[in-house]
Amino acid sequence: MINNLVIEVLLENLHTAKSYRVKEICLGIMGNLVCHESLVAAISLKNGLIATVMEQLFLDHVKCLSETFSAYVSWAQALLPDEILSRILRVVGKTDNSTLIEKIIDFLSTVIDNRDVIAMLIQPLLKLGLVDRVIGLLTNEIERSPDEKLDRLESFHLILHFMEELSAIHCVSKAMASNDRLIKVLVNMIKSPDKVAVASYCASVVIVMSNILTDGKHLVPRISHDLRFLESLLEVLPEVPDDDQTRYALWSILSCILAQVQETGLNSSSLDRFVSLFSRKFGLIKDDLESQVVDEENLTPEDALLKGWISRCVSFKTILMAISFFIERWIEQKSSQGNEDAINNARKVLSYCQKALR
């Protein structure tokens, strides 16, 4: 097809055709051709091809736009003008079509996966509002009716996964950390009673939050006393038992929060609620910890634990130390006030933490 001038025919039709359907078909054929890596270089060298494809970004036609993003090859230089990047982000911001959203996300993921391309484009994209556009996509999906959400789960997951990829880029993570709207959205997603229904949704949200908090220490005080958030975060653990990346991210978030709480302190009422929460939910921490035990002969799970995963996890040590610190304080305050059952439960948690930290 290439040798028989199909690209020239497609380009001529893109220039002259008045029909959106003809343009859509031409772009679709071109998109299929560039899927063959051996042909990409030859196709990209065709005179006028890149400029012609870029022009199609300004069509107000969903199917043509979808095929335009499919036909993309790594032409970073052609994407640099502000009007091109602005148009791409405007499409991101205004489209409601799930197919087009998926094509755009796939396109942008391809961009950020290429180190040379993203180095050239990330600052212009941030300047033009990439973070706000992606947050807008996410909130639009969250605000849909339950029936709509079921029909658009693929789009929802792609958006979250794309945010996960973006948050791993330092300069993007810093921009995300300065966006108050995003942290509120992520916290509410973790606190949502629906979260346990979709483990992959939990995983992406936790990873994005962890990446953002790394560059946004100022955000930690805002969530450090939100016990409902802490409880919901712990409830994610049983949903991701084999996902080490998510579990490490979760422990990192919890470690940041508890370090902040330990630094600022708790009044008597907050201390009661804090100890109550961790006494009730400590089984989730214990189960997760023991699921990572090193299998060594003649060692009990708790003893193997001491030689296993915890010795390599700084975040987990920080968490256990903070829990121990607050439980010790609470026991001192309550030991003369009765309520032996609650005190005994707290002592069991404290004993476990202390043994694990030896």
Q: Round to whole Å and give the CA distance between 334 and 343.
A: 8
Residue 183 contacts residue 228 (beta carbons within 8 Å): no
**Average pLDDT score over residue span 236-256:** 87
Choice between 206 and 146, residue whose per-residue pLDDT is larger: 206
**181-200: pLDDT as tens digits:** 899 999 999 988 776 555 56
Q: Which pLDDT belongs to residue 314?
A: 67
Q: Which pLDDT belongs to residue 209?
A: 94
Residue 71 contacts residue 63 (beta carbons within 8 Å): no
Residue 216: burial class (beta carbons within 10 Å; 0-12, 13-18, 19+): buried
Asked whether residue 17 carries a pLDDT value surpassing 80, the answer given is yes
Q: Round to whole Å and give the CA distance between 142 and 180.
A: 17
Asked whether residue 261 carries a pLDDT value surpassing 80, the answer given is yes
Q: Of 175, 96, 98, which Cα lies nearest the Cα of 129?
A: 175
**Average pLDDT score over residue span 115-137:** 89
Choice between 165 and 54, residue whose per-residue pLDDT is larger: 165
Q: Of 261, 272, 269, 240, which Cα lies nearest the Cα of 319?
A: 261
Query: Scanning the structure block, which residue is given the tokens 């968490």?
Result: 319
**Average pLDDT score over residue span 222-237:** 90
**Average pLDDT score over residue span 144-172:** 87
Q: Where are the domains of the chain?
A: 265-358
Instruction: Tell me the C-alpha to C-alpha distance, in Å, between residue 175 and each of 85, 212, 237, 271.
Output: 18, 9, 28, 34
**Average pLDDT score over residue span 102-126:** 86
Asked whether residue 77 carries a pLDDT value surpassing 80, the answer given is no
Q: Round to whole Å and give the CA distance between 207 and 245.
A: 8
Residue 111 contacts residue 166 (beta carbons within 8 Å): no
Q: Which pLDDT belongs to residue 318?
A: 85
**Average pLDDT score over residue span 143-160:** 83
User: Does an H or E element contain 57, and which?
Assistant: none
The amino acid at residue 214 is T
For the chain, the farthest-separated pair of C-alpha atoms sits apart, in whole angstroms, at: 91
Residue 279 contacts residue 229 (beta carbons within 8 Å): no
Show Cβ contacts of residue 338 under 8 Å, excluding neighbours closer than 6 positions: none
Choice between 220 and 71, residue whose per-residue pLDDT is larger: 220
Choice between 165 and 94, residue whose per-residue pLDDT is larger: 165
The amino acid at residue 134 is V
**Average pLDDT score over residue span 79-99:** 86
Asked whether residue 347 carries a pLDDT value surpassing 50, the answer given is yes
**Average pLDDT score over residue span 13-19:** 89
Q: Of 103, 18, 123, 22, which Cα lies nearest the Cα of 62?
A: 103
Asked whether residue 208 carries a pLDDT value surpassing 90, the answer given is yes
pLDDT band at 294 (very low <50, low <70, confident <90, very high): very low
Q: Of 200, 188, 207, which Cα lies nearest the Cα of 156?
A: 200
Q: Is the torsion defined by CA of 39, 45, 48, 54 positive or negative?
A: positive
Residue 231 contacts residue 277 (beta carbons within 8 Å): yes
Residue 101 contacts residue 137 (beta carbons within 8 Å): yes
The amino acid at residue 352 is Y
pLDDT above 90 covers what percent of the chain?
25
Choice between 22 and 301, residue whose per-residue pLDDT is larger: 22
Residue 59, φ and ψ in degrees, nearest 5: -75, 140
Mean pLDDT lowest among 53-67, 234-248, 271-285, 310-324? 310-324
Residue 264 contacts residue 276 (beta carbons within 8 Å): no
Asked whether residue 298 carries a pLDDT value surpassing 60, the answer given is no
Q: Which pLDDT belongs to residue 309?
A: 47
